[in-house]
Amino acid sequence: MNIPNVILDKLAPMDTHKTITNLLFITVFFLFGGGMIMLTGHVERSWLARSIWACIYVSAMGYGFLISRLLLSRIVEAPGFMVLSVLCLFSIFWSSAPSTTASYAIALFGATLIAYIIVLKLEAFQLLKNATTALLLLIVVNVLLMIPNLGYNLSGAGRFSGIFPQANMLGRMASLGILLLSLLALSDRYPKFLAGIGIIGGTLLVLACNSMTSIMAVILSLSLFFLRRSIGRPVGDGVILIMSWLLLCCGGLLWLNSESIVDFLFNLIGRSPTLTGRTGLWEGVRDAIYLKPILGYGYSGFWTGEHLLTERIFNHAGWETESAHNGLYEIALNVGLVGVVTFILVIGRSLLNAFKFTFTGHSKLAPVLLSILTYLLILGATESAYMIRNSINWVLMTLCTLYLKKLSLEEGMGRVLGADNTFNAGNYANMPKK
């Protein structure tokens, strides 16, 4: 018996229960997407922000305890990212900054736990609608802030950051909003009028903050979605194999000529081939990783606990930062090669499932999940976008892997997919285990 649901059903009718649940998750995604910065200012130094996050994560852990049997069955079926978050918790024992690791790792664990709970509570498209609505609200807020100086902000004279401390953070939020609004509107899962408003507003924000990584990530991610729609019908495994071989060959040619290609592309868009100083930073980060390759420096322990190493890296790069500006490098600093290998295995399997269900079946959900996962992975090439606490990116990445795992289990059970290609959480809990 699901005790929390029984209590809610007695207190409110089913429709009210669903409305409250959706509003709750919209609020959570709003905070994860950057709303907390708008409400409290500087998140890291704000006691109010810390108190709100603590309440959210304590509530999630308490609810998780009440549905522990259902939750554990979900974790056993798809343990990957939960294992990573637990590894971050244990990294306090070898961390260079134990107190920082303790507080930050608890936040990461709480965000991961919320993702597992969401999968049990909501169908995939409903979850994506909630996340999209939260991002639409954030886009509207930032556009309103941009309007008083619209001409200047769009002129390229400066980089608009809105409610965020950095322009790149605004670019990531706005581009993710554009992606979700486009995917759901094209899938007939979101009102096209609202989606159009959000896409226009998000595009203005991305242009104002001049975030090229975000723009490229959205374009490449949407291209996969349109590729599947243009094909129209499922393709056979043989076609997938040929496409993979062609991609491998093309990738090899690109790698052999990578230096000249990179110079050409970045000159074309008016950017430095050093990725705005990131290459110098990465050289120093790699040297630091070699010093502790297996388990790293503890979750978020490197940048606050290794002052001599970070000072050396800053001197070499010519600028200061608090991240590696690369997702895999950041994981290696946090929890070493153990964490990197675990992450790659989980993501690799999810990508294989996503491509399989996107191109060989009739699933409406798989192309959407593939596009979102592709966007998040591309973002991590020049930003520390993986395993970030209090982040909508990490929650969505975890959710994509979990819903893809559910699709895989559905196929394994030989059952017919529902109208929206997702499980009913209650039915899933009663499925026989392999």
User: Does 174 map to a domain?
Assistant: yes
User: Does 16 map to a domain?
Assistant: yes
User: Does 209 map to a domain?
Assistant: yes
- What pLDDT is recorded for position 434? 37
User: Does 242 map to a domain?
Assistant: yes
Q: How far apart are CA 426 and CA 121, in angstroms?
A: 9
Q: How far apart are CA 38 and CA 137, in angstroms?
A: 12
The residue ranking higher by pLDDT, 307 or 377, is 377
- What pLDDT is recorded for position 422? 43
Of the ranges 197-201, 276-280, 412-416, the best mean pLDDT one: 197-201
- What pLDDT is recorded for position 417? 42
Q: How far apart are CA 258 and CA 416, in angstroms?
A: 45
- What pLDDT is recorded for position 232? 62
Domain count, the chain: 1
Q: Which one, of 128, 116, 163, 127, lies nearest residue 142 by Cα? A: 163
- What pLDDT is recorded for position 309? 80
- What pLDDT is recorded for position 184? 94
Q: How far apart are CA 400 and CA 374, in angstroms?
A: 10
pLDDT digits (tens, 9 = 90+) for 191-224: 999 999 999 999 999 888 877 777 888 888 888 8
pLDDT greater than 80 at residue 43: no
Judged by DSSP in three states, 381 sits in coil
Go through the chain and tell me how many residues it has: 434
pLDDT band at 310 (very low <50, low <70, confident <90, very high): confident
Asked if residues 133 and 26 have their Cβ atoms less than 8 Å apart, the reply is yes
Mean pLDDT, the chain, as a whole number? 79
What six digits make up the tokens of 291? 């010093």
Rounded percentage of the chain residues whose pLDDT exceeds 70: 78
Asked if residues 282 and 326 have their Cβ atoms less than 8 Å apart, the reply is yes
User: Does 385 map to a domain?
Assistant: yes
Least trusted range by pLDDT, from 109-113, 152-156, 323-327: 152-156
Asked if residues 351 and 363 have their Cβ atoms less than 8 Å apart, the reply is no
Q: Tell the residue number behind the tokens 């009028």, with chain if given.
A: 193
The residue ranking higher by pLDDT, 257 or 24, is 24
CA angle 400, 236, 402 (to 5 degrees): 15
Q: Tell the residue number behind the tokens 């975000």, with chain if given.
A: 214
Q: State the DSSP string of 321-345.
A: -SS-SSHHHHHHHHHHHHHHHHHHH
What mean pLDDT do residues 78-90 have? 92
pLDDT digits (tens, 9 = 90+) for 317-370: 777 777 777 888 889 989 999 999 999 999 988 888 888 888 776 678 888 999
What mean pLDDT do residues 71-94 have? 91
Beta carbons within 8 Å of 261's beta carbon, 6+ residues apart: 254
Rounded percentage of the chain residues whose pLDDT exceeds 90: 28
What mean pLDDT do residues 58-74 have? 90
User: Does 434 map to a domain?
Assistant: no
Q: Which one, of 25, 19, 21, 22, lies nearest residue 395 by Cα? A: 25
pLDDT greater than 90 at residue 131: yes
User: Does 263 map to a domain?
Assistant: no
User: Does 429 map to a domain?
Assistant: no
Q: Tell the residue number behind the tokens 């990957």, with chain if given.
A: 80
- What pLDDT is recorded for position 234? 61
Domain span at 307: 3-253+276-415
pLDDT greater than 80 at residue 89: yes
What six digits make up the tokens of 374? 């592709």
